[in-house]
Amino acid sequence: MKFLSRLLCRLLIASMVMLPFSTQAGMIGTDQVVANATAQANRDKVRDFVARADVAKQLEALGISATNAQERVNAMTQDEVNRVAGKIDSMPAGADSSGWWWAAGVIVVALIIWYFWK
């Protein structure tokens, strides 16, 4: 029993000498927590956008598979993710920028002119 306790003591002393005691505690600022939360939210927003069915369909039309697009999003730097997330936020909700409203406006104006002409 005495031999076992001596062996255990020697192992503990050797491990304390060889293993470093490099622990550091400190306060985490609110700005760091908010920055990390914002960064993760932006990355999730871009991942969700790429995972949407209509976006995946458009990417397939351009020759990029959905898994390849997800891998590219995962490989993006945080600055790139923030830029893309900002562009997603600035896009019109549910709108299609193909310009069909322009043609509808021209038709309405033509009908008004035709009504007053006759």
What amino acid is encoded at 39 in this protein?
A
Work out the average pLDDT over 3-24: 83
Residues contacting 108, CB < 8 A, separation 6+: none
DSSP summary character for residue 94: T
pTM: 0.52
For the chain, give every domain's residue range. 31-90
- Model confidence pLDDT, tens digit, residues 64-97: 888 888 888 888 888 888 888 888 877 766 555 5
Percentage of the chain lying above the pLDDT 90 cut:
3
Would you state the pLDDT for residue 97?
A: 53
